[in-house]
Amino acid sequence: MSQTIGKTRLAYSRVWHHVSLASPSTPSLGRLASRIAILLMGKHKPIWDPSTDCGDYVVATGCNDVLVTGKKKEQKMYYKRTTRPGSMKSINMESMIRKWGGGEVLKRAVRGMLPKNRLRDKRLERLKVFEGEAHPYKINLMKVEGKIRQVEPEVKAEILKQMSI
């Protein structure tokens, strides 16, 4: 009998999820980052294993509207260091959003919630962040706000036509 029952190529296929931070029902940064980390790891799948990379893609749009509670925008600090003495540099969240956008804040939050192993960078590459609502992955999206999206053949042909222009 086979030892890989259920672990077929179809089970390991990656789905594209869409998360819009501009919608009013979007949770705060930490709660959203933990949900995105679960999708990137593949913990929502029945075949999840800590040593395999079976996670999905996540497209986050509207990252300029990242929601944080309290005074975190002014008080939360991000640090950067090298091995040299006196090289520690710090920047607060508000300055980081102005300098690099809200997508960088979201990526750092998700990075902190992923396991610290050799799969972390590969998983983080599957997180695509955009400041506005426009992104080039519309044809790939299967789940938008947690609901499965159905694409009619006419719409798919129109999207492909627009992408070729």
The segment with the largest mean pLDDT, out of 42-56, 107-121, 132-146, is: 107-121
Angle value at C-alpha 135, between 133 and 140, nearest 5 degrees: 120
> What is the per-residue pLDDT for 5?
60
| Arithmetic mean of pLDDT, 20-49 | 92
- The answer, yes or no, to whether residue 126 has pLDDT greater than 70, is yes
> What is the per-residue pLDDT for 1?
42
> What is the per-residue pLDDT for 137?
87
pTM of the model: 0.83
> What is the per-residue pLDDT for 145?
65
- The answer, yes or no, to whether residue 150 has pLDDT greater than 60, is yes
